[in-house]
């Protein structure tokens, strides 16, 4: 079994304690950090499928998420680099009612490597908190919102509409993403950009401030 496969299986099994050793070992033997990350992302997809099919339940999803987070922590220095803050400030958060943060954290990491100073508001972020954060931080260029549940898509809409109603709106860009979000939905709710994954989010962010 390949080292990446072993890491993916360990995420699915939720064995967070093994992740540090396995990821370091894979890196030392020359595995590409992006391949390791993609292996873990695919593993979370499998976890989601198993959950959908009632083969596993919330606790198993949670331990898999912990294992993935551990792996990302080890990978982080190998993935993130870049002139910190040169492109301005990027506020990010997962919308109200939504606790999923792995994808949002990956987007934050890639955005940081693209030269932005990232202000991460965490999960379950109410619309007003995004607004306050823009007002409190001088030089915010982009606000990024993540939503992982079909049931929190309305919260994403409310958050974007709340931002769109602010005087500062013309001086910032709003980016959205997350598994259930589509480019059409992003346009319909008045966001400036949608991207499907963390790497394209970083590319798009650079484009938006160029
Ligand atoms: Co949840 N969950 N979950 N969950 N969970 C999903 C999302 C689900 C698809 C599983 C399934 O049924 N197959 C399903 C949603 C179904 C739907 O909406 N129709 C689901 C459900 C139902 C739930 C609960 C309701 C379960 C329950 O309690 N009965 C509950 C809700 C809690 C809440 O939020 N209020 C719940 C809870 C949880 C845990 C807490 C246990 C855990 C999250 C832990 C954590 O994040 N700290 C969890 C997990 C782990 C998942 C799955 C298995 C994995 C999510 C993940 O981390 N993926 C997920 C199944 C799946 O995704 N296939 C599932 C890996 C990550 C790298 O991908 O987050 O998509 P993703 O991010 C990507 C892109 O989407 C994009 O880039 C990222 C990186 O490439 N992206 C952006 C994300 N944000 C972006 C922002 C951008 C641009 C791109 O610009 C700003």
φ, ψ (nearest 5 deg) of residue 197: -145, 180
**What's the CA gap between 103 and 122, in Å, rounded?**
12
Q: Which of 33-37, 85-89, 99-103 has the lowest mean pLDDT?
A: 85-89
DSSP 85-114: TTT-EEEEEEBTT----HHHHHHHHHHHHT
Strand order in the sheet with 117-120: 117-120, 89-94, 140-146, 173-177, 193-194
The set of residues, in sequence order, having a beta carbon less than 8 Å from that of 104 and lying 6+ positions away, is 92, 93, 94, 120, 123, 146
C-alpha 135 – ligand 1 centre gap (Å): 29
Confidence of residue 82 (pLDDT cuts 50, 70, 90): low
Atom of ligand 1 nearest to the CA of 179: 75
> Residue 36: its pLDDT value, please?
96
Task: Provide the pLDDT confidence category of residue 83 given band limits of 50, 70 and 90.
Answer: low
Q: Does the C-beta of 105 come closer than 6 Å to ligand 1? A: no
- What pLDDT is recorded for position 173? 98
Q: Delineate the domains of the chain, giving CATH numbers in brackets.
A: 3-83 (1.10.1240.10), 87-209 (3.40.50.280)
**Residue reference for tokens 């013309």:** 170
- Write the pLDDT tens digit of every residue in 109-122: 999 988 999 999 99
How far is CA 96 from each of CA 2, 4, 114, 122, 146, rounded to the nearest angstrom? 39, 34, 27, 10, 10
Q: Give the pLDDT score at 79.
A: 83
Round to whole Å and give the CA distance between 95 and 34.
27
Q: Residue 33's closest CA among 202, 146, 199?
A: 199
How far apart are the CA of 47 and the centre of ligand 1, in A? 10
Q: Take atom 42 of ligand 1 and give the residue whose Cα is closest.
A: 62
Is residue 86 predicted with pLDDT exceeding 90?
Answer: no
Which pLDDT does position 85 carry in this prediction?
A: 74
Q: In this structure, how many other beta carbons lie within 10 angstroms of the beta carbon of residue 51? A: 15
Q: Is 106 in the pocket of ligand 1 (CB under 6 A)?
A: yes
Is pLDDT above 80 for 157?
Answer: yes
Q: Is the CB of 37 under 6 A from ligand 1?
A: no
CA-nearest residue for atom 32, ligand 1, is 99
């Amino acid at each position: 079994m390949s080292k990446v496969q072993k890491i993916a299986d360990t995420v699915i099994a939720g064995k967070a304690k093994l992740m540090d050793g396995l990821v370091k070992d894979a890196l030392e033997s020359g595995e590409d950090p992006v391949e390791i990350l993609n292996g873990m992302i695919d593993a979370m997809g499998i976890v989601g499928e198993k959950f959908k099919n009632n083969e596993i339940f919330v606790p198993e999803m949670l331990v898999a998420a912990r294992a993935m987070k551990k792996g990302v922590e080890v990978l982080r220095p190998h993935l993130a680099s870049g002139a910190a803050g040169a492109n301005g400030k990027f506020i990010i958060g997962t919308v109200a009612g939504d606790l999923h943060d792995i994808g949002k954290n990956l987007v934050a990491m890639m955005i940081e490597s693209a030269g932005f100073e990232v202000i991460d508001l965490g999960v379950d972020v109410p619309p007003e908190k995004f607004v306050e954060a823009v007002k409190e931080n001088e030089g915010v260029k982009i606000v990024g919102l993540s939503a992982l549940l079909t049931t929190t898509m309305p919260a994403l809409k409310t958050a974007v509409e709340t931002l769109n109603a602010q005087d500062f709106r013309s001086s910032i860009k709003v980016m959205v993403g997350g598994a259930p979000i589509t480019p059409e939905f992003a346009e319909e709710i008045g966001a400036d950009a949608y991207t499907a994954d963390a790497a394209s989010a970083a590319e798009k962010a650079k484009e938006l401030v160029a």
